[in-house]
């Protein structure tokens, strides 16, 4: 088949466009050649000559173009030269420069005055000289992040959004925290997932701060696997102050409501996120569900989600509807938990609309309560 025919070239152009749109890197030699043809020899020569002038050899030029083909579309004087110079001023050159751009291809898209320079200035103020930034202080920390699988884009977010993370000592804070998180969460992949949700996990002394809260979960009988899943879903949990957040929530004047320690352990084992509820919220729910509805502590402990649903917008309006049905001897067999866990549309379809004409007060009461 003639690979230079218009039909084949059109198909190659479409495939190349799809690859660029999906940001599939690196490109093949054929795709790079096609990109050069599409962009125009004269324009791409300007880019390639600029890369050569920066000190890159042919292998490095091939690497950076295959990894970041968008470079061939940028204006040399307005875009590439100022951004490359900004990085080179830090002492980056040759393979180091290629690696930095290849690992975080968004660098060429970031604003020079809005992102790159402010970030570098911040690092200079924080860490001192450029030599300290690149070689002595920044590089060891970035290396350990890359070891656990954090990509260049994630590291960029850490440096810009949570830039104080780089002030933490490598051996006094970052490394011990990562080691503890590895042991707790089971793998580097899980550590990365948790850090993406909450990078503050590396700003604390993890073995000291997190361990206290993990012990609280272990005391309730939760398995290590369930604790791991809970912290992966709610990584901020491990950073809360145990005494101020969890102990009051766990105790919540349990004797006043007739709750035993076993009831509380059952509740936490079934739904650890109940620990995120405030003491006042738990007491308010228990007062209504136990005094008004008549739920027992055993019933609520085995159905802890009832303590998380909105009392005003979900539980009370639906209980009023069920109470009307009970008074009218209709819709038997639907308990408060079954009603509360229904989606709004399902509750409307199963509990309200079939009786809208027969008992309009139930429908009207519900709609008024939920707004």
Least confident of 57-61, 349-353, 361-365: 57-61
Per-residue model confidence (pLDDT) at position 16: 42
Per-residue model confidence (pLDDT) at position 160: 55
Report whether the peptide linkage leading into residue 26 is cis, meaning its omega lies within 30 degrees of zero: yes
At 288, the pLDDT band (50, 70, 90 cuts) reads very high
Domain boundary assignment for the chain: 1-109, 312-371
Q: What is the pLDDT of residues 305-348, one digit of tens each?
A: 998 899 999 999 999 999 888 877 665 557 899 999 999 999 99
- State the chain's mean pLDDT as an integer: 75
Residue 184 has pLDDT above 50, yes or no: yes
Q: What is the pLDDT of residues 210-239, one digit of tens each?
A: 888 788 778 777 888 888 888 888 887 776
Orientation of helix 58-67 relative to helix 94-103, angle to 10°? 10
Per-residue model confidence (pLDDT) at position 300: 92
Q: What is the pLDDT of residues 10-30, one digit of tens each?
A: 344 334 444 444 444 555 555
pTM of the prediction? 0.48
**222 burial level (CB within 10 Å; 0-12, 13-18, 19+):** buried
- Nearest Cα neighbor of 287 from 321, 322, 245, 259 is 259
Q: What does the block give as tokens for 331?
A: 């819709």
At 137, the pLDDT band (50, 70, 90 cuts) reads low
Cα–Cα dist 86/369, whole Å = 60
Residue 41 has pLDDT above 60, yes or no: no
Residue 34 has pLDDT above 50, yes or no: yes
At 57, the pLDDT band (50, 70, 90 cuts) reads confident
- Proportion of the chain above pLDDT 70, given as a percent: 70
For 178-207, what is the mean pLDDT?
A: 83
**Look-up: residue for tokens 């303590």?**
307
Cα–Cα dist 168/234, whole Å = 23
């Amino acid at each position: 088949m003639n690979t230079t025919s218009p039909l084949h070239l059109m198909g190659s152009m479409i495939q190349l466009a799809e690859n660029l749109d999906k940001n599939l890197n690196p490109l093949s030699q054929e795709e790079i050649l096609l990109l050069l043809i599409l962009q125009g020899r004269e324009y791409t020569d300007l880019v390639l000559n600029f890369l050569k002038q920066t000190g890159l050899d042919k292998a490095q030029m091939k690497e950076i173009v295959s990894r970041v083909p968008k470079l061939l579309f940028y204006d040399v004087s307005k875009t590439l030269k100022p951004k490359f110079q900004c990085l080179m001023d830090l002492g980056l050159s040759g393979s180091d420069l290629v690696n930095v751009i290849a690992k975080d291809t968004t660098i060429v898209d970031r604003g020079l005055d809005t992102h790159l320079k402010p970030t570098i200035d911040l690092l200079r103020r924080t860490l001192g000289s450029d030599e300290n930034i690149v070689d002595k202080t920044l590089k060891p920390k970035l290396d350990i992040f890359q070891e656990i699988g954090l990509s260049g884009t994630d590291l960029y977010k850490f440096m810009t959004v949570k830039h104080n993370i780089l002030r933490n000592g490598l051996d006094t804070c970052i490394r011990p925290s990562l080691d503890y998180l590895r042991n707790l969460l089971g793998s580097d992949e899980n550590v990365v997932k948790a850090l993406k949700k909450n990078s503050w996990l590396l700003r604390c002394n993890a073995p000291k701060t997190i361990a206290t809260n993990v012990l609280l979960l272990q005391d309730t009988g939760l398995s290590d696997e369930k604790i791991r899943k809970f912290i992966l879903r709610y990584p901020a949990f491990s950073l809360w102050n145990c005494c101020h957040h969890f102990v009051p929530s766990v105790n919540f004047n349990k004797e006043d409501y007739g709750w035993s320690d076993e009831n509380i352990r059952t509740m936490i084992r079934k739904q650890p996120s109940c620990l995120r509820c405030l003491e006042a919220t738990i007491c308010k729910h228990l007062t209504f569900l136990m005094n008004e509805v008549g739920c027992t502590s055993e019933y609520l402990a085995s159905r802890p989600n009832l303590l998380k649903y909105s009392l005003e917008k979900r539980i009370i309006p639906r209980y009023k509807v069920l109470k009307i049905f009970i008074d009218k001897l209709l819709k038997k067999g639907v308990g408060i938990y079954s009603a509360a866990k229904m989606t709004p549309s399902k509750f409307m379809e199963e509990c309200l609309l079939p009786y809208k004409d027969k008992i309009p007060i139930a429908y009207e009461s519900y709609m008024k309560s939920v707004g």
